[in-house]
A = this chain, B = another copy of it.
């Protein structure tokens, strides 16, 4: 097996983008529980995200969600971020919370509403021009709940046209990243339900259209690392939304439900070049901390990704290829498991210490008093959350 010292520098280039909305309240359709210290503004979200980065060195950028994070002056917001030690990242559009979008947005049969949804995305690109963001990420809630409700093909054709309008607005260094999702909030047909659909649209759009893979957006039993491999092979893996799930799109902490799956995913990322120095694959979190504390939830998450990346880097790929060549099924599997079962935590603590980071970021956060501080400071105002 590869030694930890050999992967130390590779770990140094890891960067995981945090979503601003992870710091706001979230919940299920049954209840959103509030918590003390929840941010009331995008600036406070950035401050919380900056804590995660300060303690781990893993999270240098923050994704924004429009309109949740809309401000008058994005240039100024960028400087706020910079002062906090982070930068603004991906811009996420939102076409699922305006009453007009009840039956669709970029797919809507009513041209007025569809134009409004397209215009929202153009505004997002305007924002990207100011923030310097590379990626416009589109997750569509569009779909239908009942058979017959919409013409599946018509919706697809309109989607293609809407995406084309948006894509044409992009600058040369900007990308459109199209996310797919198996179901929810639509319960019969979702308009971008799988990687195949997302890829077909990207292929029609052009080179700067990429697929976003959210690890919670698949049918039960789906082999996600296979899709990772396939999208890397096709040159169309744009970004990850990391989280984990036991059932549906549970949005739990990445690595919490099935750490071995996360390991396999990261192994395919690495094997397929997605972690190479020149890779343009973006790694992001997209989770809901419904019952746990948000900031330590994000810290735990980026650490989980780092730990699994380390294990995946440790795999002896030469030996693995040889075992495959020999048809040694148990041997090959054993080589992979050997890396997975290696406890890298002490090495990573040392690695952090060597870089001036706290060896135990979770403990350091608790010791920092930050949580008590924000609980005391952030009184009044409206706590951020989905829709706020």
How many chain copies?
4
Q: Is the CB of A175 closer than 8 A to any CB of chain B? A: no
Instruction: Indicate if the CB atoms of B183 and A221 lie closer than 8 Å.
Output: yes
Are A152 and B97 touching (Cβ within 8 A)? Answer: no
Asked whether A229 is an interface residue with its Cβ less than 8 Å from the other chain, the reply is yes
User: Would you call A31 and B292 a contact (CB within 8 A)?
Assistant: no
Cβ distance A80 to chain B, nearest Cβ, rounded Å: 28
State whether the Cβ of A205 lies closer than 8 Å to any Cβ in chain B.
no
Please tell me which stretch of A55-63, A122-130, A247-255, A375-383 contacts chain B, meaning at least 4 of its Cβ atoms lie within 8 angstroms of it: A247-255
Identify which of residues 186-205 in chain A touch chain B, using a CB-to-CB cut-off of 8 Å.
187-190, 193-197, 199-200
User: Shortest Cβ distance from A150 into chain B, in angstroms?
Assistant: 6
Specify which chain B residues have a CB less than 8 angstroms from the CB of A257 in the assembled complex: 188
Comparing A9-17, A38-46, A333-341, the segment that makes contact with chain B is A333-341
User: In the complex, which residue of chain B has the Cβ closest to the Cβ of A339?
Assistant: B148
8 Å CB contact of A342 from B247, B268, B343? B343
What's the minimum C-beta distance from A199 to chain B, rounded to whole angstroms? 6
Contact residues, A25-66 vs B (CB, 8 A):
26-31, 33-34
For the complex, is A258 an interface residue (Cβ under 8 Å from B)? yes
Q: Are A200 and B146 in contact (CB under 8 A)?
A: no
Question: Are A33 and B99 in contact (CB-based, < 8 A)?
Answer: yes
| A81-89, A164-172, A278-286, A293-301 - interface stretch | A293-301
Q: In the assembled complex, which residues on chain B have CB atoms less than 8 Å from the CB atom of A258?
A: 258, 260-261
Q: Which chain B residue lies CB-closest to A320?
A: B148
Contact of A153 among B218, B256, B259, B271 (CB under 8 A): B271
Contact in complex: A297, B219 (CB < 8 Å): no
| Contact of B146 with A256 in the complex, beta carbons under 8 Å | yes
Taking each of A33, A225, A329, which has the highest tally of chain B beta carbons within 10 Å of its own beta carbon? A329
Q: Does A68 touch B at the CB level, under 8 Å?
A: no
Q: Which residue numbers of A lie inside 8 Å of B, CB to CB?
A: 26-31, 33-34, 96-97, 99, 102-103, 109-110, 141, 145-154, 156-157, 182-185, 187-190, 193-197, 199-200, 218-223, 225-227, 229-230, 232-234, 245-248, 250, 252-253, 256-261, 264, 268, 271-272, 290-293, 296-297, 300, 307, 320-321, 323-325, 327, 329-330, 332-337, 340-343, 345, 362, 386-387
Check B247–A187 contact: CB distance below 8 A.
Answer: yes
Asked if A145 and B193 make an inter-chain contact with CB atoms under 8 angstroms apart, the answer reads no
A31 to B151, CA, bound (A): 23
Q: Across the interface, which residues of B come within 8 angstroms of A156, CB to CB?
A: 229-230, 233
Residues of B within 8 A of A152 (CB): 225-226, 229, 268
How far, in angstroms, from A260 to B102 measured CA to CA in the complex? 26
Asked if residues A223 and B193 are in contact (CB atoms below 8 Å), the reply is: yes
14 contacts between A and B (CB under 8 A): A29-B386, A30-B184, A31-B96, A33-B99, A34-B99, A110-B327, A146-B329, A147-B264, A150-B332, A151-B320, A154-B324, A193-B226, A194-B195, A199-B200
